Structure 1
Amino acid sequence: MDSFNPRHHKEKVVIVMGATGTGKSRLAIDLARQFGGEVVNSDKIQVYEGLDIVTNKVTEEECRGVPHHLLGFVDPNVNYTSSDFKLHASLTMDSIISRDRLPIIAGGSNSFIEALVDHEMKFNRRFQFCFLWVDVMLPVLWSFVRVRVDRMVEMGLVDEVREFFNPLGDYSTGLRRAIGVPEMDHFLRADIELVNKEVLVIYLEQAINKIKSNTFKLACKQVQKIDRLRRLWRGKNYIHKLDATQVFLKREKEANKAWDELVLGPSTSIVAQFLHGGDRTSTFFPSSSTFPTIVKNSQTIAFTS
């Protein structure tokens, strides 16, 4: 395995971007295993403790031994801001680099990434970023989103939200903003009021359809934001686009083969060039995980309001 060489004028950081469901976590973990890295979560909802199914946090098994940071560590009732993320991400990156490891930031909250990268000049003098964008054609991603939400329901999404439900809760703050929580409100209120089962079935179906629709709307907004950042950062930060569409159109072994050929292989070459220039090459290790990934739980740094 190729290890990270920290002896550079600027410290190197890899950032994996993309819409929800495109495989950012998988790529971040694959690259961390290739280059001796640790993953820093940049998803503004996954920072909160709880609702692991709803928020699709990566599981211990899916981490495959790769340390994850800023994941599930914030009180669900606290508003976690871009400023909070900048502080915690900076401290975490310093900690990772102090261990001669490579920080790999991954998540769908592009506002967090923008806040971090467009930090004060002192910060930008210290770090150099390599941006990877995992992209999937939106019609294909829409099909995947529908399947993924159905799978999350099978995993226990309804009961998870029911346990978290508060009729007086504010859906504009903290973890209650997560897609999957406000959409269930009408169904859960009817459930408390003992509405008949036939009506409850209809309400639940409506809630699930809203979750699918709102998840896809989020994905569209995320793609638009990345496109905006590409234009904004032109000449300053180049974003490498990796088309994973074919991965989603194939199944099992063929999907994994497509992932290695179209996403992981090119990403490995890009990161090796970023870290070592033309002086060294990186051995490419095929991904040992399967696609698609349905994700859940993990940890680090304490946060108080």
Structure 2
Amino acid sequence: MKSIHGAPKLNKPKVVFIMGATGTGKTKLSIDLAIHFQTEIINSDKIQVYKGLDVVTNKVTELERRGVPHHLLGVIDDPDVDFSVHDFCRDALIAIKQITERGCVAIVAGGSNSFIEVLVEDPTLNFRSIYDCCFIWLDVLPPVLNARVSKRVDEMVAGGLIDEVRGIFIPQADYLSGIRRAIGVPEMDRFLRVENHMIDDGIPKEVLLDEAINEIKVNTFELTCRQVEKIRKLIEERGWNIRRIDATGVFECPGKDVEKAWESLVLEPSLAIVGDFLNGQEKAFSTTPDQFPAALPQVRVEMCATN
């Protein structure tokens, strides 16, 4: 029996995971792959699962989706409810089953690596015994990624971040649960309290806003460090066979060359990896600590500590 991709249908359905830190291009890669392999995407970002705050959470737009169906994206109405890892596993398994039963590979993409770890490793789910897994890690070296993150935060501010956070601001907000734990929301609290005349500490609003924006950048830098360290632990401690793709060159290119760099550095190797995986010809590969960039661990620690 043949799948829609022309490859022999093997015993186990197949799932591709696109992993990486915030700002590395996971969304773009997942959409490119989904279009090429005619399939669908399951969001594994625990904040993007909520409706609203599209700018703050950098949620992919309808235009950017290019017609690719997305699951678990903007589906939770209540901003205060906690979407737990168990909720994710339940809903992701349903979506994966639906996609793979149609003869397609399921693509799971997002930055909540702890959610992915539980989905794959929880012994009660038996995920690995049911599905074949392919893991792709899209990585960008820290100095380049931090510059990218800083620019993206500025773009989010220009795109309406402040008004979005104003729209959900309440004095008694719990910033440890629901959508309000998203980076970009708690950092604005002091500025909004002054703006709403709830407090007056003598600091101009403009100064407080600048401080809030800088704090958003710092907290995002620190998030990228945690995300990469989690992937490293999955490789070193869990023994996951994760294919690392270095996308640093994409973000170092001048504007007119970005798309060509993306295709050669990221898309083409990713298509080859997934193509081999779907055809049952995946090459033996294992990312080990000695294959990481030589300065990666220390650089990431330093960037987290100094920003």
Q: Using structure 1 for the length normalisation, give the TM-score.
A: 0.87
- The aligned counterpart of 1:73 is 75
1:61 paired with 2:63, answer yes
Q: Distance in 1 between matches of 2:150 and 2:8?
A: 42
How many Å apart are 1:196 and its aligned residue? Answer: 10
- The aligned counterpart of 1:151 is 155
Cα deviation digits, residues 176-218 of structure 1 (max 9, x gap)? 1000000000000000008699800000000000001101100
1:229 paired with 2:231, answer no
How many Å apart are 1:5 and its aligned residue? Answer: 4.8
1:108 paired with 2:111, answer yes
Q: Distance in 1 between matches of 2:95 and 2:131?
A: 13
How many Å apart are 1:48 and its aligned residue? Answer: 1.0
- The aligned counterpart of 1:179 is 183
3-state SS of paired residue (2:5): coil
Q: Distance in 1 between matches of 2:54 and 2:223?
A: 18
- The aligned counterpart of 2:304 is none
How many Å apart are 1:36 and its aligned residue? Answer: 1.3
Q: Distance in 1 between matches of 2:164 and 2:187?
A: 13
Given that residues 24 and 140 in structure 2 are in contact (C-alpha distance below 8 angstroms), is that contact kept between their aligned partners in structure 1?
Answer: yes
Among 164, 167, 175, the alignment partner of 1:163 is: 167
Distance 1:246 1:173, change over 3 A: same
How many Å apart are 1:66 and its aligned residue? Answer: 0.6
- The aligned counterpart of 2:300 is none
How many Å apart are 1:256 and its aligned residue? Answer: 1.0
3-state SS of paired residue (1:254): helix
Cα deviation digits, residues 110-158 of structure 1 (max 9, x gap)? 0001011103363321101100000000011110111100000000000
Q: Distance in 2 between matches of 1:40 and 1:265?
A: 22
1:26 paired with 2:28, answer yes
Q: Distance in 1 between matches of 2:256 and 2:104?
A: 31
RMSD between superposed Cα atoms in Å: 1.8
Q: Distance in 1 between matches of 2:61 and 2:38?
A: 19
Among 198, 213, 238, the alignment partner of 1:208 is: 213
Given that residues 3 and 34 in structure 1 are in contact (C-alpha distance below 8 angstroms), is that contact kept between their aligned partners in structure 2?
Answer: no
Identity rate, percent? 52
3-state SS of paired residue (1:179): coil
Given that residues 15 and 107 in structure 2 are in contact (C-alpha distance below 8 angstroms), is that contact kept between their aligned partners in structure 1?
Answer: yes
3-state SS of paired residue (1:129): strand
3-state SS of paired residue (1:3): coil
Q: Distance in 2 between matches of 1:154 and 1:278?
A: 46
Given that residues 29 and 66 in structure 1 are in contact (C-alpha distance below 8 angstroms), is that contact kept between their aligned partners in structure 2?
Answer: yes
Q: State the one-letter code of the partner of 1:73.
A: V
3-state SS of paired residue (1:13): strand
Given that residues 4 and 100 in structure 1 are in contact (C-alpha distance below 8 angstroms), is that contact kept between their aligned partners in structure 2?
Answer: no
3-state SS of paired residue (2:126): helix
Given that residues 8 and 279 in structure 2 are in contact (C-alpha distance below 8 angstroms), is that contact kept between their aligned partners in structure 1?
Answer: no
Given that residues 4 and 101 in structure 1 are in contact (C-alpha distance below 8 angstroms), is that contact kept between their aligned partners in structure 2?
Answer: no
- The aligned counterpart of 1:99 is 102
Segments of 5+ residues of structure 2 without an aligned counterpart are 283-307
More displaced stretch, 96-105 vs 242-251: 96-105
Q: State the one-letter code of the partner of 1:259.
A: W
Among 126, 131, 135, the alignment partner of 1:131 is: 135
Q: Distance in 2 between matches of 1:102 and 1:197?
A: 57
Distance 1:34 1:197, change over 3 A: farther
Matches within 5 A, 1:185-200: 185-193=189-197, 199-200=204-205
- Of structures 1 and 2, the one with the larger relative CO (CA 8 A, separation 6+) is 1
Given that residues 15 and 105 in structure 2 are in contact (C-alpha distance below 8 angstroms), is that contact kept between their aligned partners in structure 1?
Answer: yes
